Amino acid sequence: MVDINNYLYNLASIYHISTTLKLDSKVDMLSFKSNLSKVAESMRAKMTMLHHSIGLTCLVSKKLIAFLSVLLLTGSSMVYVNGYLTHIMHDNIYFSLQLLEALKRECVHTISAPESSTVISVCVSLIISFFMLMGEVFARRFRHKICASFYHTREEQWTRYLLWKTVQEREKSVRSNHLQK
């Protein structure tokens, strides 16, 4: 790698003489420009490599966080199910105490229909869940339309790619049909 300090010493010297400016140049500007472009290209390559490394690190860390989250969720679910199945008081203290008291008194209550307010709240929750689920599909499509309206060139590239991929799949299926005959 070329030392930049050597070039700084070889740069033109500037002398202030009254109101005129005199520039002495003993530098080969073509070699200076070529060396400067080599250094710039080297820096660009290093920055690209650094950008790629950071992107890869972010991707790996996202996958690691997702894996750990799934692992934690699975582990906590296993602990919950184990406790629920092996211990009668686990996460059900009120109803378990009530059940134990009922068993002590040997009273068995008949099962009654739920209250109308409970039925209504469950139905409303299910309807809201349904609309949220259906809304998610439309939100994804709407999100794509918004992005396409802002980034026309990217949408054109995406359309060309999908067209190319569809043509490739059709040609592949046509070839396989001809080979089967």
| Residue 39 placed within a domain | no
- Per-residue pLDDT band at 46 (split at 50, 70, 90): very high
| Residue 154 placed within a domain | yes
| Residue 14 placed within a domain | no
Least confident of 100-109, 133-142, 155-164: 100-109
| Residue 167 placed within a domain | yes
Domain that holds residue 139: 127-181
Average pLDDT of 40-52?
A: 92
What burial letters (b/e) apply to 33-50, b meaning 16+ CB within 10 Å? eebeeeeeeeeeeeeeee
pLDDT confidence of residue 2: 52
Rounded to 5 degrees, φ, ψ at 109 are -85, 145
Q: What is the pLDDT of residues 54-111, one digit of tens each?
A: 999 999 998 999 888 888 888 888 877 777 667 666 555 556 666 667 767 766 566 6
pTM over 0.75: no
- For residue 51, pLDDT over 90 is answered with yes
| Residue 103 placed within a domain | no
Hunting for tokens 């059900």 — which residue is that? 92
C-alpha distances in Å from residue 120, one per residue of 92, 108, 115, 126: 25, 28, 9, 10
| Residue 93 placed within a domain | no
| Residue 148 placed within a domain | yes
pLDDT confidence of residue 47: 93
Under a CB-based contact definition with an 8 Å cutoff, are residues 80 and 91 in contact? yes
pLDDT confidence of residue 1: 46
Count of domains forming the chain: 1
Q: How far apart are CA 77 and CA 81, in angstroms?
A: 6
Under a CB-based contact definition with an 8 Å cutoff, are residues 140 and 134 in contact? no
- For residue 15, pLDDT over 70 is answered with no
| Residue 47 placed within a domain | no
pLDDT confidence of residue 110: 66
